[in-house]
């Protein structure tokens, strides 16, 4: 038999917590001494170990009480429900991580706090990406949208930094002559980066180019914006005219 002090030492659960579990009927001592001190047997210890295991899995104390009352099927169903909750939480944390990374990159890229952009980025990761690109349905088919989403998921920190550098270099040279060597180099760097991300899928690249030409408000293609698109178009058109 274990006194409450010995049970606390054996399991690592504080006496105060054991008092509370007793109070709410989660685990009660099997007997008491003549002096009224609580005593716990091996079955009580096993019950406490089950409680601690279920608590670690994320169940509330009320849920644990119901699970310990139930049959095997109740256990199985409860575990499945908890697994679904864990999966949803993982998805939420993954989206939060992407949103925080997006905000971090935007602060580095913009070199100032743009609250409108930050709000847009946080909103971006609170919706399904399929819905995000729905406004570009006229230019991108479902397969192309999925390819963009997959590419986005596979981008490393280094990939993102390279992409931001290419766009940043363009943004700092928007007013240069589109036929200059510098302008051509910037456009070719952009094109090289796009091909690195999407391969030689010419149909996708052409459809993306058309979608970007009709860029709508929002951050779906951040850090691409109308100024960058206009610059690239001027360079590509000038390049074609010189042929």
For domain 2-69, give the CATH number: 1.10.1660.10
User: Which residues are registered as beta bridge partners of 3?
Assistant: 39
How many helical (H) and strand (E) elements, i.e. helices and strands, does the chain have?
Answer: 12, 3
* 3 state DSSP class of 97: helix
Nearest CA to 117 among 108, 107, 132, 126? 107
pTM of the model: 0.51
Tell me, what's the pLDDT at 188?
92
CATH 1.10.1660.10 placement within the chain: 2-69
Tell me, what's the pLDDT at 15?
93
Give the pLDDT of the chain (243 residues) as one tens digit per residue. 889 999 999 889 999 999 999 999 999 988 888 888 899 998 898 889 888 988 888 888 988 888 888 755 566 777 888 888 888 778 777 767 766 776 676 667 666 666 666 666 665 556 555 555 666 677 778 888 788 777 777 778 788 888 888 888 998 899 999 999 999 999 999 988 888 887 777 788 777 777 776 655 555 566 777 788 889 889 988 887 776
Tell me, what's the pLDDT at 125?
59
d(CA 183, CA 201): 24
Other CB atoms within 10 A of residue 2 CB: 20
d(CA 71, CA 174): 69
Nearest CA to 140 among 192, 207, 88? 207
């Amino acid at each position: 038999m274990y006194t409450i002090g010995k049970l606390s030492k054996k399991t690592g659960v504080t006496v105060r917590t054991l008092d509370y579990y007793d109070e709410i009927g989660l685990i009660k001592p099997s007997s008491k001494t003549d002096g009224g001190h609580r005593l716990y047997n091996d079955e009580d210890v096993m019950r406490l170990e089950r409680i601690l295991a279920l608590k670690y899995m994320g169940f509330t104390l009320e849920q644990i009480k119901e699970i310990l009352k139930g049959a095997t099927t109740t256990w199985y169903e409860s575990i499945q429900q908890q697994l679904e909750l864990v999966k949803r939480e993982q998805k939420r944390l993954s989206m939060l991580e992407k949103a925080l990374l997006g905000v971090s990159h935007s602060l580095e890229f913009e070199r100032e706090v743009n609250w409108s952009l930050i709000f847009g980025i946080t909103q971006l990761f609170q919706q399904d990406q399929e819905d995000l690109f729905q406004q570009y349905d006229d230019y991108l088919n479902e397969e192309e949208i999925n390819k963009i989403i997959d590419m986005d998921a596979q981008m490393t920190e280094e990939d993102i930094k390279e992409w931001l550098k290419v766009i940043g270099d363009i943004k700092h040279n928007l007013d240069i002559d589109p036929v200059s060597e510098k302008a051509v180099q910037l456009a070719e760097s952009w094109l090289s980066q796009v091909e690195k991300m999407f391969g030689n899928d010419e149909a996708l690249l052409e459809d993306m180019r058309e979608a970007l030409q009709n860029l709508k408000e929002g951050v779906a293609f951040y850090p691409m914006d109308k100024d960058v698109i206009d610059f690239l178009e001027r360079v590509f058109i000038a390049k074609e005219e010189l042929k």
